[in-house]
A and B are shown apart, each in its own frame.
Chain A
Amino acid sequence: MKKFKGETLSWDVTDGAIELLLNRAPCNEIGSTTLAELEAFTGALESLQKDCHALIIASARSEGFCAGADLRELYRRSQALPPDQRVAGVREFVERIHVVGNIVDAAPLTTIAAVHGVTFGGGFELALLCDLIVADKMTRFCFPELRLGLIPSFGGIPRLKRDVGNGVVRDLLLTGRSINATKAQAAGLASQVTAEGDALRVARATAAQVRKFDRATTAAAKKFIKPIPHEELKQEVDIFCDLFTRPAVEAGLRRFVESTDALPYLP
């Protein structure tokens, strides 16, 4: 399927680059519909990548790239289950996300996240799947999960550890603060910082550049320099599921869900 337009995302191929565009109000929160459509995308990727050299992931939402997991849906789905089945329910969701993430991470294409605005939690983790992050100067990256008594669970910690120094990982994780694109570039996270509204254009220019290279060479180089931390990814799921059972987490999620702020992103 070369083209797709779903409820939360779409994809198309332009000049040999696959463009995956997230588009779910308010800020591309990842819930069950997004996950199902991401699974459809990874299902199509094997066929798509035969004729392509790059994958660009971007957002059509002015608010930002992605605000992370749909915590309201996560909480409501969890509450609908008997208490002894809640962890199994959340584990199933997280493990499905990991399958999607590992496919994108290992794709033999040059993958580029074109990010802007809010790039939080699961959105940050989605960007970390990619080989390159091109960030609009108004981007803010954040792992706010500890505020809810959780850790990131979409593969964020092992992939962040893969990309940057442990001091940066501790700073982001343990303080839950957000950082801007300039700081992210200085830390080695963002490869390029663009003017406001220019991330997708720059990502396309980067995709045009990598098209000049032999695809098999690019794939071999990527396999060598970007190993997937499978063992740590499994550990992350286990730690997340272990933490999820605690009453403090349920209380934190309830506070978030009941917040009157339309976009309760600040601490």
Chain B
Amino acid sequence: MSTLQTTTDEVLRLASEHFKVPLDKLNPDDDFFTKLGINSLQALDLLTRIEQHFRIELPDYELQGVNDFRTLAERIQSRL
């Protein structure tokens, strides 16, 4: 069963792999827009990868105001 910690780790790994940022440079409280250097279009891309990876639906309005990996993982966790 996934915990918030394992979900956060998986999100960091997904972001690291897709946006080519070393995993050890990413922390749960990082602003992912800044740390990954992504715009809203790339954030949509990340959302789609998250939905596929976790096999969930995560409406984009739930991500309004969400900037850090930990809160993103919390939103995912609530759908698992």
Q: Which B residues lie within 8 Å of A34 (CB)?
A: none
Inter-chain contact A176/B45, CB cutoff 8 Å: no
Inter-chain contact A265/B41, CB cutoff 8 Å: yes
What separation, in Å, do the CA atoms of A179 and B61 have in the docked complex? 11
Inter-chain contact B44/A266, CB cutoff 8 Å: yes
Q: Which residue of B lies closest to A137 (CB)?
A: B52
Q: Which B residues lie within 8 Å of A176 (CB)?
A: 61
Q: Which residue of B lies closest to A142 (CB)?
A: B60
What separation, in Å, do the CA atoms of A179 and B44 have in the docked complex? 10
CB contact between B39 and one of A140, A177, A261 (< 8 Å): that residue: A261
Given A140-B48, A180-B48, A180-B52, A175 and B39 contact (CB-CB distance below 8 Å)? no
Q: Which residue of B lies closest to A266 (CB)?
A: B40
Q: Which B residues lie within 8 Å of A262 (CB)?
A: 39
Q: Which A residues lie within 8 Å of B37 (CB)?
A: none
**Does B80 count as interface, using CB distance less than 8 angstroms?**
no
Secondary structure of the B contact surface, majority rule: helix
Q: Which A residues lie within 8 Å of B51 (CB)?
A: 180, 182
Least CB distance from A36 to B in Å reads 27
Inter-chain contact B52/A267, CB cutoff 8 Å: no
- Which residues of B in the span 23-80 have a Cβ within 8 Å of any Cβ on A? 39-41, 43-45, 47-48, 51-52, 57, 59-61, 63-64
Q: Which A residues lie within 8 Å of B44 (CB)?
A: 118, 140, 178, 265-266
**Does A167 count as interface, using CB distance less than 8 angstroms?**
no
- A sample of 11 more A-B contacts (CB under 8 A), given A177-B59, A266-B43, is A117-B41, A118-B41, A140-B44, A142-B60, A180-B48, A182-B52, A261-B40, A263-B41, A266-B40, A266-B64, A267-B64
- Residues on A lying within 8 angstroms of B by beta carbon are 27, 63-64, 117-118, 137-138, 140, 142, 175-180, 182-183, 261-267
